[in-house]
Structure formats: structure tokens, C-alpha cells
Amino acid sequence: MAQLASRIAAALSTLDDRPTILFGHSLGAVVAYEVARVLGHRLGRPLDGVVVSGRRAPSDPPGGGVHLMPDDAVVEELVRLGGTTGELLDIPGAREVFLPAIRADFRLAETYRHVPGVELDCPVTAVIGTEDTEVDAGQAALWAAHTSGGFALRTFPGGHFYLLDHAAAVFDLFASPSVPKRG
């Protein structure tokens, strides 16, 4: 995770003084958090915000062993979460193309462990689906401990992939007062 975050932060470090809000969903939420930690140090200024979606706080690791399961079980888990209907992965040759990346995502998500240290000093908004079986409001609220820059929790109807049905409203979070303002 540290290497991934460092590489992404290096690519984004050219942003200079442009307003910058990072967004990440599920595993991407932790990636956005780790990138924000690195960027805050490299840029010498806090970001304008981080929006984390569908993920427990870094200090509350989910664990799990999906990445160790047989292919059929990985597909079943992906379907259960709402990430696909499974039909895509039934196309001949599709599993060979997509499952290695999907399994790698599960491995990174399930084995990530938060290393205490520099926390964020920018606003953080956690967003979850009200029927998400992977993270509830109490678990999402723990993100507040990872920033000194303000925290907000937003919910939308739906499961882990609630944002597929609420993309415009989630996008509006970047411009609305629901993202707590710094200062």
C-alpha cells in the first residue's frame, strides 16, 4: 500500500495550489487516505478534502480471506457485494483477464494494516450505503479519528455499490457544504 500511495502521490504532487479533493470507494478509500497522508507531507499544505466511500476507517481493518478462495467463490462474493451480476465473468476467457486484478484488490483490501503516524488535517467525508454489509455508520464514523480538519458522514440508500444509483449526488458532495470546510 505504501508504494502504491507514494506513486500516486508523486503523480499528483504537480497540482501546486489547485483545489484538491481525493475520492476513493471501498479499497480506493484507503488508497485515497494513504495518498492524502503522503501528499500532505509533500505539498506542505493540507488537501481540500478526502471523500471516503464504502469502507471502514483505517484503524478498523475488515480482514477476510476472499483473496484466498477458489475462483467461483471470489465471483460469488463480487456478485453478493453488487459489483457485477456475474454474467461478465461467465464470458469465455473473462475470468482469466479480470480475476487476477479482482483477487489482487481483495488481497490488498484484506491485508492492509494502518500504520499510526501522521493523520490528515483536511476535511474528511465518509459516505456509505444504508444497506452495505461491509461497513455501517458506526464503523464509518471512526474515520473522524483520522483527521483534525473536520468530519461528516453521509448515507445513501443501497448496498456496497450504492454510488452506481446515486452518482450525481455523490459527485455533488465535492461542491456542497456536506464536505466540511477547512478552518
What is the 3-class SS of 94-118, one letter each residue? HHHHHHHHHHHHHHHHHHCCCCCCC
- Count of Cβ atoms closer than 10 Å to residue 69 Cβ: 15
Cell numbers describing residue 97: 483477464
Q: Which residue of the set 59, 146, 160, 176 is catalytic?
A: 160
C-alpha of 103 from chain center? 17
Cell numbers describing residue 57: 476507517
Does residue 146 carry a catalytic annotation? no
Alpha carbon distance, N-terminus to C-terminus of the chain: 30
Of 174, 150, 145, 148, nearest in space to 53 by CA: 174
Cα four-point dihedral sign 67, 80, 152, 10: positive
Specify burial of residue 3 (Cβ count, 10 A radius: 0-12, 13-18, 19+): exposed
Does residue 166 carry a catalytic annotation? no
Q: Which residue of the set 6, 25, 26, 67 is catalytic?
A: 26
Positions annotated as catalytic residues are: 26, 160
